[in-house]
């Protein structure tokens, strides 16, 4: 049940939301569409679902050209950021909705609802109304509702965006486990790189209506192909044409080759990590990341003059190529 998007274009008035976008989503994969607001990721998801019609291009779902199919016929399960719960129906009726309009026998519906309720840990809540549930519970209900009709594809539009930070983290873990159990091809949209890196097997990074890069989380982090991807997927320092990850910025207490003089403005302690904020001679600011142990070992302190040197850096050529510069350890 793989999905293939080929050359899709979509415009809203003057605004180009999707500019010749193509992606491949393998059968059973858990894929994230990651990007800032306005990158087109939600639009792409809705085009795949059939909630928007593209101006050009094709959407192929399990080897069938579904571009002109109405959403009802695509077999997609869709989960919305704000749940879209049927607020006038109980949890049970919400989950049963898809089955009930397909006129399945009552016993079958009831059984399926029970199975799903157990799956999403909403046991005992079946007679409640959405207004009586917390945000996290509503979203779990929405997921159960979408899964009830056994969709070929599960699409989630910033599913945890409206929830508190800790509920978000819980549901992330839960989504991964759910995918392990249910194995349906899943695509979710997020602007949170941590969430994408945590949950997805494959990430598609989007910006300005186009695909910047797609691949496994590790690949994107270690081998970003553009400035944008590197900066979006993790923290980055920029020094001239070099892009340096904070944990690749080495701090030395004595001058060395390739190392620049800098003053420590502030050392921030974040749990077991230390974040060392540096001010260079020409006024530019960088920051380095190291373990607390390391910082203590080097006896770093505010106001100290040190020497900063990148262990690795990426340089992005104007022609689209990139290379990694690695400096040999002393």
Partner 1 sequence: MTPAPGARAEAPPRPVTFPRLGGAALGRGLVTAYLSVIVLIPIAALVAKSTEGGLAEFWDSLTSPLAISALKLTLIASVIVTLINVVAGTAIAWVLVRDSFPGKRIVNSVIDLPFALPTVVAGITLLALYGTDSPVGINVAFTRAGVVMALLFVTLPFVVRAVQPVLLELDREMEEAAASLGAGPLTTFRRVILPNLTPAILAGAALAFARAIGEFGSLVLLSGNLPKTQVASLFIFAQIESGNTTGAAAVSVTLLVIALVVLLLIGRLTHWSLRHAR
Partner 2 sequence: MLASPTVSRLGLRFFALGYLSLLLLIPVGMIVYRALEHGAGAALDQVTTPEALHAFYLTILIAAIAVTANTIFGIGCALLLVRSEFRGKALLNAAIDLPFAISPVVIGLSLYLLYGREGWFGGWLLDNGFQILFSLPGMVLATIFVSLPFVVREVVPVLHEIGDEQEQAAQTLGANWWQTFWRVTLPAIRWGVAYGVVLATARALGEFGAVAIVSGRVVGETETAPLWVWREFGQFNLTGAYAASLVLAMLAIGTLLAMNAFKRKEA
CB 31 within 8 A of CB 204: yes
Nearer to partner 1, 72 or 166 (CB): 72
Nearest Cα to Cα of residue 25 among 72, 59, 70: 59
State which H helix or E strand residue 168 sits in. helix 165-182
Among 47, 49, 187, 206, binds partner 1 (CB under 8 A): 49
CB atoms within 10 A of CB 158: 20
Binding mask 144-173 for partner 1 (x = CB under 8 A): -xx-xx------------------------
Residue 315 engages partner 2 in binding (rule: CB under 8 A):
no
Nearer to partner 2, 73 or 164 (CB): 73
Nearer to partner 2, 53 or 324 (CB): 53
Q: Which of residues 187-246 bind partner 1 (CB under 8 A)?
A: none
Label residue 208 left, alpha or beta by phi (over 0 means left) and psi (-120 to 50 means alpha).
left
Among 12, 15, 27, 87, binds partner 1 (CB under 8 A): 87
Residue 167 engages partner 2 in binding (rule: CB under 8 A):
no
Among 56, 70, 235, 255, binds partner 1 (CB under 8 A): 70
How far is the C-alpha of 248 from the C-alpha of 289, rounded, in Å?
8
How far is the C-alpha of 135 from the C-alpha of 318, rounded, in Å?
45
Binding mask 63-102 for partner 2 (x = CB under 8 A): -------xx-------------------------------
Q: Which residues contact 97 (CB under 8 A, 6 or more apart)?
A: 86, 89, 145, 148
Tell the smallest beta-carbon distance from residue 70 to partner 2 (Å): 6
Question: DSSP labels for 38-61?
Answer: TSSHHHHHHHHHTSS--SEEEEEE
How far is the C-alpha of 306 from the C-alpha of 252, rounded, in Å?
6
State the residue for tokens 């079946």.
Answer: 126
Residue 103 engages partner 1 in binding (rule: CB under 8 A):
no
Residue 287 engages partner 1 in binding (rule: CB under 8 A):
no
Structure tokens at 60: 């192929």
Among 13, 37, 63, 72, binds partner 1 (CB under 8 A): 72
Q: Which residues contact 321 (CB under 8 A, 6 or more apart)?
A: none
* CB burial of residue 105 (10 Å; 0-12, 13-18, 19+): exposed
Structure tokens at 151: 């969709």
Nearest Cα to Cα of residue 250 among 283, 294, 302: 294
Residue 184 engages partner 1 in binding (rule: CB under 8 A):
no
| Count, residues near partner 1 per rule CB under 8 A | 28
Nearer to partner 2, 26 or 70 (CB): 70
Among 35, 40, 54, 98, binds partner 1 (CB under 8 A): 98
Structure tokens at 216: 């496994």
Tell the smallest beta-carbon distance from residue 12 to partner 2 (Å): 16
Tell the smallest beta-carbon distance from residue 17 to partner 1 (Å): 17
Among 23, 48, 85, 197, binds partner 1 (CB under 8 A): 85
Nearer to partner 1, 25 or 313 (CB): 25
Nearest Cα to Cα of residue 92 among 63, 115, 73: 115
User: Which one of 112-120, 130-138, 164-172, 313-321 is the stretch in contact with partner 1 (CB under 8 A)?
Assistant: 130-138
Percent helix, strand, coil in the chain, to 5, is 30, 35, 35
Tell the smallest beta-carbon distance from residue 132 to partner 1 (Å): 8
Positions that interact with partner 2 (CB under 8 A): 51, 70-71
Positions that interact with partner 1 (CB under 8 A): 49, 51, 70-72, 76-78, 80, 82, 84-88, 97-98, 101-102, 129-132, 142, 145-146, 148-149
């Amino acid at each position: 049940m793989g999905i293939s998007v080929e050359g899709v274009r979509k415009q809203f008035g003057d605004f180009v939301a999707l500019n010749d976008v193509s992606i491949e989503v393998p059968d059973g994969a858990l894929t994230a569409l990651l990007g800032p607001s306005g990158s087109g990721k939600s639009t792409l998801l809705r085009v795949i679902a059939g909630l928007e019609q593209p101006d050009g291009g094709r959407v192929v779902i399990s080897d069938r050209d579904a571009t002109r199919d109405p959403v009802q016929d695509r077999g997609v399960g869709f989960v919305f950021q704000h749940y879209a719960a049927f607020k006038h129906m109980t949890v049970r009726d919400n989950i049963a909705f898809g089955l009930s309009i397909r006129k399945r026998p009552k016993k079958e519906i009831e059984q399926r609802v029970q199975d799903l309720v157990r799956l999403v840990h909403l046991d005992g809540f079946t007679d409640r109304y959405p207004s009586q549930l917390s945000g996290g519970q509503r979203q779990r209900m929405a997921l159960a509702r979408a899964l009830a009709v056994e969709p070929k594809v599960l699409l989630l539009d910033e599913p945890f965006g409206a929830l508190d930070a800790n509920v978000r983290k819980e549901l992330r873990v839960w989504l991964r486990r759910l995918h392990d159990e249910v194995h349906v091809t899943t695509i979710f949209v997020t602007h949170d790189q941590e969430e994408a890196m945590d949950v997805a097997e494959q990430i598609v990074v989007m910006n300005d209506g186009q695909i910047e890069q797609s691949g496994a989380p590790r690949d994107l982090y270690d081998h970003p192909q553009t400035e944008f991807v590197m900066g979006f997927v993790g923290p980055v320092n920029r020094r001239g044409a070099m892009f340096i990850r904070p944990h690749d910025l080495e701090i030395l207490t004595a001058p060395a080759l390739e190392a620049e003089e800098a003053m420590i403005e502030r050392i921030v302690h974040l749990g077991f990590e230390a974040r060392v904020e540096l001010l260079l001679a020409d006024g530019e600011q960088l920051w380095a990341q190291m373990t607390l142990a390391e910082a203590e070992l080097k006896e770093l302190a505010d106001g100290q003059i040190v020497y900063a040197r990148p262990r690795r850096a990426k340089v992005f050529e104007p022609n689209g190529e990139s290379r990694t510069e690695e400096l040999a350890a002393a």
